[in-house]
Structure 1
Amino acid sequence: MIRSTRRRAGVLGLALAVGGVLLGAAPAVAAPESAAPGTVTASETLPRDLWYPGSADAKKLTYWTTGATGEPALSTGTVFVPEGPAPEGGWPVLSWAHGTVGLGDGCAPSVVGPGARERDFAYLGTWLDQGYAVVASDYAGLGTPGTMAYLDGKSEAHNVVDMVKAGRAVEPSLSNTWVAIGQSQGAGAAITTARYATEFGGPDLDYRGAVGTGVPAYIENIVALAGPGFPPVALPGGLTVYSLYILAGLNAAHPELDLPSLLNDSGRSWLAKAETECYDQLKSSAGGLVIGSLFAKPLSTIPNIQGFLADYMGVPETGYDKPFFMGQGLKDTDIIMPSTLLLASTLARNGEPVTFKTYPTDHSGTMAASLPDTLPFVRALFDGETPAPSTGS
């Protein structure tokens, strides 16, 4: 059932103008015996210009987590503490999963701030004003050894969960109750985290649920079609960037696939650019680039590439144990509505505790537009309530 749904989504995505494409990985580094997930190796005060509004204190830290290979990997991240006295039991925690910023170390939010500064400052400032602490992983390989496993859902889930552990290690005022939230790449990370949070977090954390806006649904089916002549035309700039990051991340995470052997000289050159250039720079330099012109052989040359990509970057369709919220913009051209709607309907059909709502706005606009729904949804989670599943909007 899962496989057939993903095939339908791939055909749907192709028919609807090759809707968004997004992937990436940090190889393991030599890990000491103290490399338990969430173990902090360094902590420092974050520069004030990177503090979200409503923060009383903010730190940057380096911590151990699990990378794409399943081995220990280092990640950096940030911790933001709200103003005022902590409530009894500590500040409830939101683990923020950021959207696409790039794969180069200089792109990390803990180094330069969020990619969409005005948008993210307003959004996360709202949550801080509501009395939530925010912890935010850069993801393993972004600012640490290796290359970020772009859209590798399980690796990102480890990073998001372990960021909560790390944040609590350096900030005693943080509670062990937490919710995952994210946008775009981070929405996929947050919803995949929702599937694995209880397992990955263990008994020391009290996971309550998740929120994702602009969830990258069934992207793997479009990626699997890539090859000479596909896509046949230049995509909108953002989609071209996502495509290049997918290829670079996949190559870093799984060198055994020998992805460069499927590319021509131009493809290998763009692969190298994608490993270092941040989103805005790559979007500018790749304007008009046709992804299909970068291939010498199709990705389908790799045995079982469809199944491999589904495991690597597919959003889980079953196995959730806590409520989660998905928001989608009706005018979103990065993550197309029909694919996300198919995911929501599949989750509902499978009996998963999903709430799905749509908004008359674009990819970025969905974050703010969803707040009248997500603020009470998250408050209910922390209050111990279980919002009734709904996909009626």
Structure 2
Amino acid sequence: MRTRGTARRTRVPVAITAVVLSAVAVAGPAAADDTAPAGLAFYTPSADLVAGEHGSVIWMRPIDGDPALPGARNWLVLYRSVDMQGQPVAVSGTVAVPDGTPPAGGWPLISWAHGTTGVADVCAPSRDTGTDFPAHDYTSLVRETQARFVAAGYAVAQTDYQGLGTPGDHGYLIGEAEQRAIADMALAAREVAPEIGTRWAAVGHSQGGQGAIFTAALAQQWAPRLQLLGAVAEAPASHIGLIAQVGPLAAAAQVDVLPKASNAFLPLIIRGAQTVADIDPARFLTPLGQDLLPQAGDRCIAQLREPDSWGGQGAGDLFRADADPSALTAVLNANDPSGLTFTPPVLVVQGTADTTVPATGTDAMVAQQRLAGQPVEYRTYAGIDHRGILAASYSEAQAWLDARFGQ
């Protein structure tokens, strides 16, 4: 069940921040600069450049090769958003616009929300310039799907999310923070390439699938200048609070209910929750778990799965038998997409062989949404795992989006 107190804390700033940012924007944002700093300096603008209207561009630079998409003009972009404390922040991302002449009304836009890479700056997908990138096996697979959308006539923008690659902490699985980054990426994309139209859709996988559903619920209010036509959620994270509840129970019973590799998500979840609430890991983690927690600051998900990290530990190694994860569970329950209400239609796709986001959880999420009368469609794919859903669902996802855009 959703914890209403935490939900209010994480969602009220939408209205408040709109007022604050309108005041900040009176002076007008700094002009977009296509001669942005080279290298990693791109990601760390001075504070005076960050203040401005959310969704406006700080600077940008053309890119080719990874992480660019083929058949498109590509830019690395730094744009403005608002964190959960109502403060302006810089967010990085990429924009790909198909080669050729745009259709009437401009290129239809997909704002893509990526799955888990980590919370360390080094894990930001826009920093993937080759096989040395620690999450290249995932981000390169995502780009294959994105390239198919470009070939089908869609502009594709992808946010890194707040605090991933840029200063500040990444609000991992904090739905409202994710949707702000996703919607503001769509706004920024139109500033980068005015030939992109005002109609857009959110598409997300895993962490991004959860973010896509939050986008369907909140983005039209956040970015009213654009028309959100729908969202596609691929293997979306849901029922996240169970992770914080099952771990201590398993530790107390001296059994491992979840695969050890699943423990790699725990430090990311804790770090994300700490961006919106006072979470003390000592209340539920063992001394070993507390010692391992800083690894989230410099390792990506694959490295956190290694035997010398979270992936090598059982529940009893990480969770205190007398654990009190209630504060963490409250934040996670408040960010479960199952109870959201939304007007734009949502397509959920899920592989039945997914062990990262089990189909039973997605089944339950969709059932709750349908009982509440939400406009959600659900399609499952037999034998398809977590990453395989990207390719397996592509044709149906494109057809569904084409119908939304009238193509």
- TM-score (norm: length of structure 2): 0.81
State how 1:197-346 maps to structure 2 within 5 Å.
197-202=219-224, 204-227=225-248, 229=251, 232-233=255-256, 235-236=258-259, 238-251=261-274, 253-254=275-276, 256-260=278-282, 262-284=284-306, 285-286=308-309, 287-296=311-320, 300=324, 302=326, 305-311=328-334, 313-346=335-368
1:6-53 superposed Cα distances (whole Å, 9 cap, x missing partner): xxxxxxxxxxxxxxxxxxxxxxx9576842211211211224232123
- Equivalent residue, structure 2, for 1:362: 385
Instruction: Answer whether contact 2:273 2:332 (CA < 8 A) is retained.
Output: no
- Equivalent residue, structure 1, for 2:80: 64
Post-superposition offset of 1:289: 1.2
SS of the residue corresponding to residue 176 of structure 2 reads: helix
Alignment gaps of 5+ in structure 1: 4-28, 385-393
Post-superposition offset of 1:81: 0.8
CA distance in 2, matches of 1:178, 1:226: 39
Instruction: Answer whether contact 1:147 1:275 (CA < 8 A) is retained.
Output: no
- Equivalent residue, structure 1, for 2:22: none
Distance 1:315 1:115, change over 3 A: farther
SS of the residue corresponding to residue 403 of structure 2 reads: helix
For 2:52, the aligned partner's letter is A
- Equivalent residue, structure 2, for 1:25: none
Matched, 1:119 2:141: yes
CA distance in 2, matches of 1:32, 1:74: 9
- Equivalent residue, structure 2, for 1:170: 192
CA distance in 1, matches of 2:285, 2:259: 21
- Equivalent residue, structure 2, for 1:12: none
SS of the residue corresponding to residue 227 of structure 1 reads: helix
Distance 1:118 1:50, change over 3 A: closer
SS of the residue corresponding to residue 44 of structure 1 reads: strand
| Structure having greater relative contact order (Cα 8 Å, sep ≥ 6) | 1
Post-superposition offset of 1:358: 0.3
Post-superposition offset of 1:221: 2.6
Post-superposition offset of 1:299: 5.4
CA distance in 1, matches of 2:105, 2:212: 24
CA distance in 2, matches of 1:63, 1:199: 19
Shifted more, 71-80 versus 129-138: the winner is 71-80
Instruction: Answer whether contact 2:283 2:324 (CA < 8 A) is retained.
Output: no
CA distance in 2, matches of 1:258, 1:327: 35
Post-superposition offset of 1:266: 1.5
- TM-score (norm: length of structure 1): 0.83
Instruction: Answer whether contact 1:68 1:152 (CA < 8 A) is retained.
Output: no
Matched, 1:50 2:67: yes
SS of the residue corresponding to residue 337 of structure 2 reads: coil
Percent identity between matched residues is 31
Matched, 1:108 2:124: yes
- Equivalent residue, structure 1, for 2:218: 196
Post-superposition offset of 1:72: 2.2
Report the RMSD for the aligned CA atoms in angstroms. Answer: 2.5
Shifted more, 366-375 versus 161-170: the winner is 366-375
Distance 1:275 1:250, change over 3 A: farther
For 1:328, the aligned partner's letter is Q
For 1:54, the aligned partner's letter is G
Instruction: Answer whether contact 2:96 2:156 (CA < 8 A) is retained.
Output: yes
Question: Among 340, 351, 371, which residue is 2:373 paired with?
Answer: 351
CA distance in 2, matches of 1:45, 1:201: 25
Shifted more, 342-351 versus 40-49: the winner is 40-49
Matched, 1:185 2:207: yes
CA distance in 2, matches of 1:346, 1:338: 12
CA distance in 2, matches of 1:44, 1:107: 20
Instruction: Answer whether contact 2:50 2:90 (CA < 8 A) is retained.
Output: no
SS of the residue corresponding to residue 193 of structure 1 reads: helix
Instruction: Answer whether contact 2:75 2:95 (CA < 8 A) is retained.
Output: yes
Shifted more, 31-40 versus 347-356: the winner is 31-40
- Equivalent residue, structure 2, for 1:378: 401
Shifted more, 236-245 versus 222-231: the winner is 222-231
1:110-159 superposed Cα distances (whole Å, 9 cap, x missing partner): 11165514421221111000000001000000111122111111110110
Post-superposition offset of 1:235: 4.2
SS of the residue corresponding to residue 50 of structure 1 reads: coil
- Equivalent residue, structure 2, for 1:38: 55
Shifted more, 325-334 versus 81-90: the winner is 81-90
